Chain A
Amino acid sequence: MNWIVTLDNIDSAKLPLVGGKAYALAYLARNGFKVPPLVSVTTRAYHHFVSETGLRETIALELNRKSFADMRWEEIWDAALRIRNLFLTKAIPPDLQAALSEGFSQNFDRQDAVVVRSSAPGEDAAGSSFAGLHESYVNLKGAKAVLHHIRLVWASLWSDAALLYRQELGLDIETSAMAVIIQKIVAGRCSGVAFTQSPTDDTQAVIEAVYGLNQGLVDGDIAPDRWTLNRRTGQLLAHSAAKRDAYMAPDSDGIKQRPLASALIDQAPLKANDIKLVFDTAQASEQLFDSPQDVEWTFEGDMLYVLQSRPITTLHKQNEKDSRSWYLSLSRSFENLKSLRQQIESKLIPEMIAVAALLAETQLSDLANAELAKEIEHRQSVFKKWVDVYWAEFIPFAHGVRLFGQIYNDAVCPTDPYEFMDLLGATQMLSLERNQLLEELADIIRQNPAAFANLETDLANDNRSNLDASFLAKLHDFTARFSEQTFATDQKKPFPAILINVIKEMATRPPAAMPDHANTVEQKIQHFFSKFSGPKLQEAKEMLDLARASYQLRDDDNIYLDRIEACLQAALDEGSTRLKNRLQKWAIPELHEAAKEVVRMLRDPHYVPRNQPRTQNKQASYRLQARQLIGQPAGPGLAKGSARVVVSKDDLAEFKNGEVLICDAVDPNMTFVVPLASAVVERRGGMLIHGAIIAREYGLPCVTGVPDVTRAIRSGDPVTVDGYLGIVTIG
């Protein structure tokens, strides 16, 4: 069956079975290099697993729901998460399970700590090195842990990073496979990498070294000492010392960063003869493989082990339009996310609130036209600055939820890959707080509906005597607290029609209590914690706390950003009011285009913007009607209702209780209609987008990532939303 091959049985004929990494190590060992003992779990084991469990077709179904071109990064991450979870939860066929367990116990002692690494065929071939796209796990003990991590390495064939580079990797569901290396760990005194040819100067070689395991260096958590050498002679050209304060060491389970002994802080990890040995060994590897090599190594005493050798390539040499590396940079370490949180919570959010408040202080009506033009430009630049901060700081932090999701799924192996989100929902998001206030207002109407029969007229005419004082006070309180864009733009009335409509609609149905999942959530939290002990338990607790902050920010940051945008909109509205005559026939474009035109009109009394002619749709000879649309199941449940397609704010004002919200993307400022909705469907895909988060909070069926949904469905169409399977049925 060839599911397991030992190091001395790996030859060139087995390259497609064991992958480039394992083959290179076997070739090095055969040529006298010191290599830690290893076995390869071949691609045949992978193929057997995905065929017997039906996983191959399941992956194909998952990845063919939608074309990659239409997928957002978040959707690719979601697909990878679901696939990863399937690898964790599908039972390994008994014959394979027995063979892998036996292979492990025959080649390693029970106490042996091992590394489980990916070795995908083609991965390290010259010209296509894809370091870092697949997973490796360090310091595992016993067959059970090793088997669990073999699944994770298999799954990493379909990681989000690998899916992003699927074309370069030639990723193919039928033929691609993952081999796995199980290698005895060498807990070296120091470790590092050697490039026989510097990526920046082809006359030089580079060696980097850290104390302890080289995982710290590879993951970028520990800064290495760096030596530059003449590639031909080995002559030392430069040494740049790192700030040495920590090293990576095996822990009871995995690895842990530890403080470096004070005696070592001032000592470079390599001495002159060590450097020579690393350089000579890397050069010999280059000779052997006949191409410049990137060699990972470790010293155990004076013995130098080669852990890996692969050709140097220049992957990630990006053109500026290729933003995949930006996406990959969103995968932050726990430490990095902690400092990002500190920065966001203590500095950026308070600053945003203060900026919005300051902008709102300016009396726009007092400004002359030229001053107003200047104010609009100022607000535009302030808004742009905060949009940049949003992309640079808030989005990476919000992706902290992903890190937690992975840790949760690895520990708990739940059937639902999004179960982890239930642990995050017990936080108060601003939009939930806002919706709670709306519920309270609706409740006052519910007590005595007759008293509110003429609510709109009473509010418009300021007939305070006709209105319930507590209702009015709450309404004032509400508008003062939530003055963001959706409600703020309708300035002609003291209370916007959208707001009044939502409150009245809410009052037509019984009070909607937020689903109380407190007990089950607490059970899930305790179950998650029970998977850890000692210092790991503390880390798990900190991780949950961080993920909750990250989850909450996912909603709140948009609301704060919209406060600033609302200030820009208010200035623009002031300008539009003054320019009413010249704007009469102008179809107002999106905000920033409008701002440009309004500023120009305020400065130039003769300028009139021109509209683009609208193209007419040709009448079709055939009528095409969508019956079932597919997307991602983003909130479990099944609901039927009349569709309400929301493309503009006006559509929100029409929203009726029990309708299905259909939209391009649920904006955080649209979420106030969610308590009225029976289900949520949106074009934008992902599990961590606002629509999905809020729908999950309210226990509503939700399907996201449905292409063209706002065109395929019309308001009033009867629709059924299957949030379990991600299907929307029309008619």
Chain B
Amino acid sequence: MEDSEKIKAHLRQLFDIQKLAVLATHQTGQPYASLVAFAASQDLKHLFFATPRTTRKFANVTADARVALLVDSRSNREVDFHEAMAATATGEVRELTTVERRAHTALYLKRHPHLEEFVASPSCAFMQVAVHCYYLVRQFQKVVELHIQP
């Protein structure tokens, strides 16, 4: 069995390369998926994304904070079946306050500098997902779980 440090290293490597994640929310039981530009904290305990407050995903997470995020390294080729890696993070999301966001937007904008004006907009919410668990899939069906203590 691999140790958790090795799994964390895989996750960090994946998150360094990938800029977009699929965010899963729901509205009264109807699942809904959206593409978001994300960033991960160094300790992997938190994932961040930004969204206008007028979006469906924002309405959904306001009603139920439970979310999942999928980050993967597929290249849309056959080799993906053995080469690609996919990480699903589950957790709870909340909007950061103006004071809180200051500490984290730098990390986010380092990865997505072109979103500076977007994130700075008063109508844009900066969201933090407290990750409960990562499900890392490799080699077609090899799955490990990395549980994060609060």
Contact = CB atoms under 8 A, between A and B. Distances in A.
B113 A724 contact: no
A54 B121 contact: no
B125 to A, nearest CB: 12
Contacts of A720: 54
A60 B114 CA distance: 10
Nearest to B116: A54
B78 interface: no
Interface in B96-124: 109, 112-118, 120-124
Contacts of A415: 120
Nearest to A725: B121
A724 B116 contact: no
B62 to A, nearest CB: 14
A727 B54 contact: yes
Contacts of B121: 722, 724-725
B113 A725 contact: no
A628 B55 CA distance: 8
A58 B112 CA distance: 10
A57 B113 CA distance: 9
A715 interface: no
Given A722-B52, A725-B52, A638 B113 contact: no
A625 to B, nearest CB: 13
Interface in B108-145: 109, 112-118, 120-124
Interface in A612-634: 627-628
A56 B113 CA distance: 10
Given A727-B52, A729-B54, A722 B114 contact: no
Interface residues of A, number: 20
Nearest to B56: A627
A638 B114 contact: no
B145 to A, nearest CB: 35
Interface residues of B, number: 18
A121 to B, nearest CB: 24
Interface in B37-69: 52-56
A299 to B, nearest CB: 48
Interface string A27-57: 0000000000000000000000000111111
Contact of B118 (A52, A56, A628, A725): A725
A61 interface: yes
B60 to A, nearest CB: 14
A53 B112 CA distance: 9
Given A725-B52, A727-B52, A54 B122 contact: no
Contacts of B54: 628, 638, 720, 722, 727, 729
B122 A638 contact: yes
Contact of A54 (B55, B56, B115, B123): B115
A499 to B, nearest CB: 34
Contacts of B116: 54, 58
A713 to B, nearest CB: 14
Contacts of B120: 415
Contacts of A52: 113
A722 B115 CA distance: 17
A725 B52 CA distance: 8
Given A722-B123, A725-B124, A55 B114 contact: yes
Contacts of B112: 54
B123 A724 contact: yes
Given A722-B54, A724-B122, 17 more contacts: A54-B109, A54-B113, A54-B114, A54-B115, A55-B113, A56-B114, A57-B114, A58-B114, A415-B120, A628-B55, A636-B122, A638-B54, A725-B118, A725-B121, A725-B124, A727-B54, A729-B52
6 contacts: A58-B113, A415-B120, A628-B55, A724-B124, A725-B118, A729-B55
Interface of B: 52-56, 109, 112-118, 120-124
